[in-house]
Amino acid sequence: MSVIFLIIILAIIILAHEFGHFIVAKKSGMRVDEFGFGFPPKLFGFKMGETLYTLNAIPFGGFVKIPGEDGGEQVARESQGRTFAEKSMRKRMAVIAAGVIFNIILAWFLISFGLMIGSPMSKSAASDAAAVKNAKVTIIGVAKDSPAEEAGLKVGDKLIAFSSVEELQNFVAVSAGKEVEIGYERGKEMGALTLIPRVNPPEGEGAIGIAMDEIGTLRLAPHKAVIEGAKTVYNLTIAIIGGLYYFILDVTKGTAGLDSVAGPVGIVSLTGSAASLGFAYLINFAAFLSINIAILNILPFPALDGGRLLFLIIEKIKGSPLNPKFSHAANTVGMIMLLVFMAVVTYSDIAKLFS
């Protein structure tokens, strides 16, 4: 079921991304020969107007085929005057950036919709804490080999009998070294587990090894949901950019690990966890994934939208197009490097399952 949910989420994110390229290209007067979901081989397609819409066998991606986009190729007579290369720099950059922008817009829509129907929200993160209803102390992180992990507590568990994080912290502090029972709520399941809070826990983990927050449900009127949704998307975007910056910094230092990076296998697991917590969590996860894909796509790396934008900026500076052979070679090498990185991350995901 997790795989099905992930395929649906990725389909929505990919369609939003490619629709951004498609609609801006159309509005810019470009001809679009094909709008493809997935990568070839083609399963089937239909033509509407001048565009062929196709469904392809490899579902993790999509493309919009615009004449003159790669440079140097032969262009049919009916496309002359409407190719990518013939349009202004501003229009070409807008077409490339549109995919990323539409992913951000999708995240904004999803989070806003979630807030309209009732979305999980931390009291500390809400602009109006009083509007967060039925807040409960909820586990948002479990340290490896901690008393909490060994006892069986999981992310998403609600710790009953405690009205605040502070109350739980005080209880654990006076119980260090003693066996205690902690009740939890996990979906429709209720239960209790015993554990012994550590007297001298590792730095940053706490006595039982959990990160927690007071999380309830926030439901807003449509106009307020749209405003709060925009704020949330902004904060998430800044946080994800910050995390990516420090990851790249660690890569340059040679100290980066793959523990904080998830590939397809890891994302399937995360999707399942979000789905098990409820529809609202799944919506927020889809929004989070859409923002991540947008940020990764805008990186100035060949084969990504950011790389294509970089090539256009170089073209603007030098006053002439880059050699098509160079662009094609750079994008090919970039794609190979991305696929190798994805393979390594996938191997790491699988290793984590058996660790």
pLDDT digits (tens, 9 = 90+) for 259-270: 666 656 567 666
Does residue 46 belong to any structural domain of this protein? Answer: no
**Residue 270 counted as domain residue:** no
Q: Determine the Cα–Cα distance for residues 168 and 207; give it in Å rounded to an integer.
A: 11
Q: Are 261 and 345 in contact (CB under 8 A)?
A: yes
Domain boundary among 167, 199, 218: 218
> Is there a single domain that holds both residue 95 and residue 185?
no
Among 132-146, 159-173, 262-276, which is the least confidently predicted range?
A: 262-276
Catalytic (active site) residue 18: yes
Give the mean pLDDT of 187-199. 88
Residue count of the chain, please give it: 355
Dump pLDDT digits (tens) for 36-53: 988 888 999 999 989 999
Per the prediction, the chain carries an average pLDDT of: 86
Domain boundary among 174, 191, 218: 218
Mean pLDDT of 317-330: 87
pLDDT at 172 exceeding the cut of 90: no
Whether 257 shows a pLDDT value over 70: the answer reads: no
Asked whether 143 and 172 are in contact (CB, 8 A), the reply is: no
Total of domains in the chain: 2
The burial of 316, by beta-carbon neighbours within 10 Å (0-12 exposed, 13-18 middle, 19 or more buried), is given as exposed
Domain end call among 218, 251, 278 = 218
Is the pLDDT at 276 greater than 80? The verdict is no
Whether residues 101 and 134 share a domain: the answer is: no
pLDDT surpassing 90 at residue 187: no
Radius of gyration of the chain (CA): 24
Task: Of 13-27, 57-71, 157-171, give the lowest mean pLDDT range.
Answer: 57-71
Give me the sign of the Cα torsion angle 236, 237, 240, 242.
Answer: negative
Q: Pick the catalytic residue from 18, 69, 205, 214.
A: 18
- Its domain, for residue 343, covers 2-31+66-115+287-353
109 & 181 share domain: no
Is residue 90 included in any domain, yes or no?
Answer: yes
Residues 7 and 106 in one domain: yes
pTM for the model stands at: 0.82
Tell me, what's the pLDDT at 297?
A: 92
Mean pLDDT calculated for residue range 174-203? 88
Six-digit token string for 101: 């922008």
Collapse the DSSP code of 54 into the 3-class scheme (helix H, G, I; strand E, B; otherwise coil) and give the result: strand
Residue 341 lies in a domain: yes
Say if residue 111 is in the same domain as residue 157: no
Position 302 in a domain: yes
Determine, yes or no, domain membership for 238: no
74 lies in the same domain as 173: no
> Which of 235, 225, 286 is closest to 103 using CA atoms?
286
Residues 300 and 344 in one domain: yes
Buried b / exposed e across 175-194, counting CB within 10 Å, b at 16+?
beeeebebebebeeeeeebe
Q: Which two tokens stand for residue 185?
A: 């709520």
Same domain, 14 and 109: yes
Encode pLDDT of 201-254 as tens digits.
888 888 899 898 988 888 999 999 999 999 999 999 999 899 888 878 877 777
Q: Report the CATH number at residue 213.
A: 2.30.42.10
Residue 265, in any domain of the structure: no
Residue 317 banded pLDDT, cuts 50, 70, 90: very high
Same domain, 144 and 207: yes
> 13 and 100 share a domain?
yes
* pLDDT, tens digit, 9 for 90 and up, residues 342-355: 787 777 767 766 66
